[in-house]
Amino acid sequence: MPHFRPTRGTLPRRSERGVVLIIALIVLVLITIVSVMAIRSTTTDERLASNARDRDKAFQAAEAAVRACLQAFNGGSVPAGLRVLTPTASPNPPVWEVADNWDASSTNSYEVPALGTTSQAGLATLPRCMVEQLNATPASYRVTGRAVGASADTVVMLQATLTEE
């Protein structure tokens, strides 16, 4: 009987078809897709947080503008440049809705200097306010504050009503 000696390290040859290569490529593509989705999600979250922060800055600046105008108006020491406007007639838009009334060159709104410079406040422009007289008796006024965040696209307007007794 012939003696059969198996050789070490050699296996019988099978036909290889590259299945491992195809599976490795599929796994690599899946890992790439998951990585790209994670990066996009992180970028979107970062943008949302930045926009929320910018809106909060604008909101706080508009609130500060309304408070400053209310205090100045209530205290009787109305600063030069803060005028009392009369509301427009019904078919026309209210004065606080007209964009030109909020320009730095407009005399219809008052720039509130209480927040310092725009770079100190982190805003595109300093907040402004305007006062409209709604009724003569009893005297009631609408105070509108408008602020722009660091981005010119972030605009917040707040209003308060003051009634003198």
Residue 116 has φ and ψ, to the nearest 5°, of 85, -150
pLDDT digits (tens, 9 = 90+) for 2-19: 666 656 666 666 666 778
Domain count, the chain: 1
pLDDT digits (tens, 9 = 90+) for 118-156: 666 788 888 999 988 888 778 888 899 999 998 889 999
Range of the domain at 70: 19-163
pLDDT at 115 over 80: no
Query: Does residue 13 lie within any of the structural domains?
Result: no
pTM (predicted TM-score): 0.70
φ/ψ bin of 83: left (φ > 0), alpha (ψ from -120 to 50), beta (otherwise): beta
Query: Does residue 7 lie within any of the structural domains?
Result: no
